[in-house]
């Protein structure tokens, strides 16, 4: 008598290959006896009407299964047992078949794997394909073990709760690890199957008007669902050690089985498609169709790719893609960095076309995974509570304001939103993407932007199961994330923190280039689900340039009020910086777009009138050397400062002056105010929204340098006003914490990614 496990094990579990107490069989395996493709993804290769379902001969499938360590072998060809009949003389072979059957009440269909049947059984069962209830009734009468293949796969539309509950009633064996299906779909099927008990089944039978089934639980099996001989035996069903096919069938009927092995992957499915296409090419058929098919870009390489193991197929194609892309990047205009590549869009598209098979299958897998997640929640099995957001930032380790913004946001306390920073570089901050090449960083000539692989970007998004993608910067990492998210069908938030068109125009002196950059950024903003901007003035400026601002959400900068505070003022440092004079502070990038050239004229005029003021410039940039020569002893340049050093320097100054009209907000304004400094900025721009005019600082007329200097001079001459404004600035800025910023973003993320289907009226007692 068969010795049964006292308690069946469900799920992948450990690798049991080589365990003498366990028998193994790949319960889902195809051969070329399946004939012309009916499978969704084989048919979608676009190779023509006679594309084969499988390229593996029955004999080869058997040999591959044995080589993979399977103790028993079966074939489950679509609607035929012809391939299996050729192997019946082998004592460890089990005749099987995959039957597609319809639910007459809702029009959906299921694939049913049947084992231990005869040719007569096959013919009788084929007559029942139009009614799954009749088919299952006959299978039970014949005591033929039968499995619901890939239980949550719906060729058309989506499964609802009632559909799943009927499948629970009809099938006591579910395939919960299918080697061609997404892991999340498999896991969700296992989660639902594990929830079933006799009470639940009785309740559902009454609710749906169906007979109480003979099974009291759902047991779980696994199969590779292999069509091209590349994954045979990598997914299997384990059962207590048996010696004969009869005992194996008994174990299946008793549900003494468990699923083990690999879930499906994009790489496996693409490789399968490539091998089938290679066989079509070798047979001399459908060559014209292949040229237009998604796999067509790899046509010349198909014979080689068909012979390689699955991991090497991707590696070869990615290397070719990387070489092509690197060639495009090498000829980019170094003076404009990534913007210089914009004129080479055709070459960029060409480089990515060879990835088309992976991109298409990735998009499909992501849709199926999301449907599985929705279904899990619909069934009352919420796999995970947090909303997962990937924030993609170029040059995360840089001192630019955007990277600092998102590092602070990520460090803020988490609630029900899990935020992951993704970048290309060191893994110190979040998840690091690899780099195919680099480009000069616009406005930061001494730094370079890493260019990631689009395929790896997709892998990171799918592998982390992000519900939403936030594009923080429109550089190579951000654009790769935008494209990847659109391919995968995920919601996208685009951040507009910088006037990129204005910067490109200022840097190059080319109005047309500025317009082109603005157009590219606008396309991203106009084709996303929400745009995060730092100020109301930014929204107005975007609207004037033709942006669709209906999706704009104002999320201002935060400030660490514990780090930036007035009591860090250091009299010794004040003496070192300015020799006892009143200190004017500028903090930011020392470059043309910050309005520093006209400001320099105004400061020179100020110093010509009085000697009691001294300028402290914190930061670095292309104008630093020129301004150092010009200002001489009237200014101190510190370079970039961070953390406590920056806070101590800010608190030790007297007036913060910020002449930029291009900044969308100006984080340094808020930090200086938190240190108790009144600020002088131009009206009409983002920095103006950081102050309360007349209370925490002064607004100068936009672009009027004389008025800006006049405001500065007023604060120098009226110390009581400077002190009162500084105190008010500290009090006002203390309320703009990073926790508040994070809460605003989280609310937006929840709204965009938190949709859950409403449950059906019929529900289980659990």
pLDDT in tens, 318-336: 888 888 777 766 665 544 4
pLDDT band at residue 166 using 50, 70 and 90 as cut-offs: very high
State phi, psi for 129 to the nearest 5 degrees: -60, -25
Strand partners, 226: 29
Contacts of 176 (CB under 8 A, 6+ apart): 10, 11, 151, 186, 187, 189, 190, 193, 220, 221, 222, 259
Mean pLDDT of the chain: 85
pLDDT band at residue 5 using 50, 70 and 90 as cut-offs: very low
> For residue range 275-315, what is the model confidence (pLDDT) as tens digits?
887 777 676 655 555 555 555 555 566 666 677 778 888 88
> Residue 472: which of 420, 411, 550, 519 has the closest Cα?
420
pLDDT of residue 278: 76
pLDDT band at residue 411 using 50, 70 and 90 as cut-offs: confident
Contacts of 710 (CB under 8 A, 6+ apart): 700
Average pLDDT, stretch 552-560? 88
pLDDT of residue 666: 78
Q: Does position 603 have pLDDT exceeding 90, yes or no?
A: yes
pLDDT of residue 736: 80
* Torsional sign, CA 442, 444, 445, 448: negative
Domains and CATH numbers, the chain: 25-268 (3.20.20.140), 337-554 (3.40.50.2000), 566-736 (3.40.50.2000)
pLDDT of residue 710: 97
Average pLDDT, stretch 591-602? 92
Q: What dihedral do alpha carbons 264, 267, 273, 277 form, nearest 10°? A: -160
Percent of all residues in the chain with a pLDDT value above 90, rounded to a whole number:
56
Q: Does position 530 have pLDDT exceeding 50, yes or no?
A: yes
Strand partners, 530: 493
Percent of all residues in the chain with a pLDDT value above 70, rounded to a whole number:
81
pLDDT of residue 327: 74
pLDDT of residue 391: 94
Contact indicator for 49, 4 with CB cutoff of 8 Å? no
* Lowest model confidence (mean pLDDT) among 384-388, 459-463, 561-565: 384-388
Average pLDDT, stretch 538-546? 82
């Amino acid at each position: 008598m068969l010795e049964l496990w006292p308690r069946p094990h469900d799920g992948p579990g450990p690798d049991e290959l080589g365990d003498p107490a366990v028998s193994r069989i790949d319960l889902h395996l195809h051969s070329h006896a399946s004939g012309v493709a009916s499978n969704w993804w084989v048919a979608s290769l676009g190779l023509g009407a006679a594309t084969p379902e499988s390229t593996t001969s029955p004999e080869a499938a058997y040999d591959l299964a044995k080589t993979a360590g399977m103790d028993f072998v079966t074939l489950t060809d679509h609607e035929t047992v012809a391939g299996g009949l050729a192997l019946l003389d082998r004592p460890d072979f089990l005749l099987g078949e995959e039957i597609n059957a319809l639910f007459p009440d809702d029009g959906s269909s299921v694939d049913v794997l049947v084992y231990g049947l005869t040719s007569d059984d096959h013919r009788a069962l084929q007559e029942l394909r139009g009614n799954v209830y009749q088919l299952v009734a006959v299978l039970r009468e014949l005591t033929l073990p039968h499995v619901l293949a890939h239980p949550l796969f719906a060729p058309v539309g989506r499964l609802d709760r009632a559909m799943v509950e009927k499948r629970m009633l009809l099938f006591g064996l579910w395939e919960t690890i299918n080697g061609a299906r997404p892991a999340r779909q498999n896991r969700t099927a296992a989660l639902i199957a594990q929830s079933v008990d006799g009470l639940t089944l009785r309740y559902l039978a009454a609710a749906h008007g169906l007979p109480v089934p003979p099974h009291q639980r759902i047991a779980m099996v696994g199969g590779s669902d292999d069509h091209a001989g590349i994954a045979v035996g990598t997914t299997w069903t384990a059962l207590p050690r048996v010696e004969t096919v009869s005992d194996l069938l008994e174990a299946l009927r008793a549900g003494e089985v468990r699923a083990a092995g690999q879930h499906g992957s994009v790489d496996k499915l693409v490789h399968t498609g490539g091998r089938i296409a290679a066989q079509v090419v070798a047979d001399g058929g459908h060559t014209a169709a292949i040229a237009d098919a998604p796999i067509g870009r790899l046509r010349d390489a198909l014979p080689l790719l068909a012979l390689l193991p699955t991991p090497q197929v991707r590696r070869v194609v990615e290397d070719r893609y990387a070489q092509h892309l690197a060639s495009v990047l090498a000829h980019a205009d170094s003076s404009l960095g990534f913007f210089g590549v914009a004129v080479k869009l055709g070459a960029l598209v060409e480089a990515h076309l060879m990835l088309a098979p992976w991109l298409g299958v990735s998009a499909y897998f992501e849709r199926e995974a999301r449907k599985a997640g929705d279904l899990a929640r619909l069934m009352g099995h919420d796999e995970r509570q947090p909303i997962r957001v990937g924030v993609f930032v170029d040059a995360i380790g840089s001192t630019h304001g955007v990277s600092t913004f998102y590092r602070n946001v990520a460090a803020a306390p988490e609630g029900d939103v899990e935020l992951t920073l993704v970048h290309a570089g060191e893994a110190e901050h979040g998840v690091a993407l690899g780099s195919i090449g680099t480009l000069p960083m616009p406005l930061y000539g001494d730094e370079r932007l890493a260019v990631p692989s689009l395929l790896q970007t997709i892998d990171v998004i799918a592998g982390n199961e992000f519900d939403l993608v936030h594009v923080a910067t429109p550089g190579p990492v951000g654009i790769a994330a935008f494209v990847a998210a659109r391919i995968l069908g995920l919601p996208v938030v685009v951040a507009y923190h910088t006037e990129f068109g204005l910067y490109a125009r200022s840097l190059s002196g080319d109005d047309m280039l500025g317009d082109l950059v603005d157009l590219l950024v606008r396309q991203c903003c106009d084709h996303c689900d929400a745009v995060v901007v730092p100020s109301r003035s930014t929204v107005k400026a975007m609207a004037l340039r033709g942006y669709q601002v209906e999706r704009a959400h104002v999320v201002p900068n935060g400030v660490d009020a514990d780090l930036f505070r007035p009591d860090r003022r250091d009299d010794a440092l004040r003496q070192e910086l300015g020799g006892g004079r009143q200190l004017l502070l500028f903090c930011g990038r020392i470059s043309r777009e910050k309005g520093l050239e006209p400001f320099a004229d105004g400061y020179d005029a100020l110093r010509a009138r009085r000697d009691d003021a001294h300028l402290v410039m914190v930061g670095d940039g292309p104008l630093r050397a020129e301004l150092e020569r010009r200002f001489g002893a009237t200014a101190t340049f510190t370079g970039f400062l961070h953390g406590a050093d920056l806070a101590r320097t800010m608190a030790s100054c007297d007036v913060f002056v910020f002449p930029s009209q291009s900044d969308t907000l100006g984080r340094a304004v808020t930090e200086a105010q938190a240190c108790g400094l009144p600020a002088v900025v131009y009206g009409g721009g983002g920095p103006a929204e950081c102050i309360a005019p007349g209370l925490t600082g002064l607004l100068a007329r936009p672009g009027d340098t004389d008025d800006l200097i006049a405001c500065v001079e007023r604060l120098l001459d009226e110390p009581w006003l400077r002190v009162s404004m500084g105190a008010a600035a500290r009090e006002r800025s203390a309320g703009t914490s990073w926790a508040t910023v994070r809460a605003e973003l989280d609310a937006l993320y929840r709204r965009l990614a938190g949709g859950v289907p409403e449950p059906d009226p019929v529900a289980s007692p659990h």
